[in-house]
Structure 1
Amino acid sequence: MDSLSIDLLLRWGHFIAGVIWVGHNYSSVIQRPNWRALSAADLIDDQSPRFQALLHREHGTFRWASVVAWSAGMLMLWRYGWLMGAITLQGTLAPIGIGMYIGTLMMANVWLVLWPHQQKVLGLKPASIAERVRCSRITHLSSRTNTMLSIPLLFFMAAGAHGGLLAG
């Protein structure tokens, strides 16, 4: 595979995975703007409509989209020779570096906070009903945090590509 094809594959992989990942956050906010905490009754009966709605959501897709988006972004920075400049926030690479740090924080939030708690809520890991209810709130806050972080993330991604003069 030639260099141009690799660049195109990375760019589109980063873009599509980013749309899936960030889009999942926004659709969650739009579909559930008046989020109501799960109750013990919602979790006792695995056949309850509320529990089944949770179970049938696309839990795996957005988590793996975060890995693809982050990995493709890091590979692009490395291939262009921009990785160290972005990491150290140097010059015109500072905006994309800030976006990279926000994206890294968001991915860590998905994998280290949201997913371990969500596994308990869904009954994939053993937990008491009280623990599952508590974890439900944590997953909600974790998801909303990523939604809010995606706003500056998108700004700095665009500024990195189109607004380098921000870091002059």
Structure 2
Amino acid sequence: MDMAMLDLLARWLHFLAGVIWVGHNYASVVNRPRWRPLAASDLSDPDSPKLKEVINREHGTFRWASVVTWCAGIFMLWHRGWLPGALQLQGTLAPIGVGVYIGTLMMLNVWFVLWPHQKKVLGLVPAPVHERLRCSRITHLSSRTNTMLSIPLLFFMASGSHGGYLLR
């Protein structure tokens, strides 16, 4: 496979995985526009419709989509020789660099804040009901944080190709 084809593949992986990752967050906002707390009975009964609704969401897909999105983006920057300049926020690479930092923060939020708490909510990690209720609020806020961070992320991603001239 030549490098042009590899670059095209990375671009499409970055785009499609990003749509899945961020789209999951936007879908969550549309489906649950405000916080609806679970009751202790929702978590103590394994046949609870609310708990099943939470469990049936595609938890693994959006987590791994974050990794694919991030890796494909880093690969594209590295392949073009832009990674050091982007990470150092140099010149016209500064906007894409800010996007890299926001995307990194979002991915870390998914894996080190949202997922550990979500595992407790889902009962994959044993926890008392009161802890699972507390964790459900944290997962909601963590998800909303990523949704809000995706707005500037998309702006800086686009300005890397379509607005970098503003920094000259």
Match of 1:31 in 2: 31
Which stretches in structure 1 are left out of the alignment for 5+ residues? none
1:78-130 Cα shifts (integer Å, max 9, x gaps) = 00000000000000000000000000000000000000000000000010000
Match of 2:66 in 1: 66
Match of 2:158 in 1: 158
- Give the AA of the match of 1:48: S
Match of 1:75 in 2: 75
Give identity over the alignment, percent: 71
1:110 aligns with 2:98: no
Match of 1:18 in 2: 18
For residues 52 and 78 of structure 1, the distance between their equivalents in structure 2, rounded to whole angstroms, comes to 42
* TM-score, structure 2 normalization: 0.99
Where 2:104 maps in the other structure, the secondary structure is helix
Match of 1:101 in 2: 101
- Give the AA of the match of 1:139: T
For residues 33 and 135 of structure 1, the distance between their equivalents in structure 2, rounded to whole angstroms, comes to 18
Give the C-alpha shift of residue 35 in structure 1.
2.5
Give the C-alpha shift of residue 38 in structure 1.
1.2
Give the C-alpha shift of residue 144 in structure 1.
0.2
For residues 34 and 5 of structure 1, the distance between their equivalents in structure 2, rounded to whole angstroms, comes to 43
Tell whether the 8 Å contact from 1:10 to 1:75 is kept in structure 2 after alignment: yes
Match of 1:42 in 2: 42
Q: 4+ residue stretches of structure 1 with deviation over 6 A?
A: none
The alignment covers a number of residue pairs equal to 168
For residues 142 and 167 of structure 2, the distance between their equivalents in structure 1, rounded to whole angstroms, comes to 30
Give the C-alpha shift of residue 15 in structure 1.
0.2
For residues 70 and 84 of structure 1, the distance between their equivalents in structure 2, rounded to whole angstroms, comes to 16
Where 2:76 maps in the other structure, the secondary structure is helix
For residues 37 and 165 of structure 2, the distance between their equivalents in structure 1, rounded to whole angstroms, comes to 44
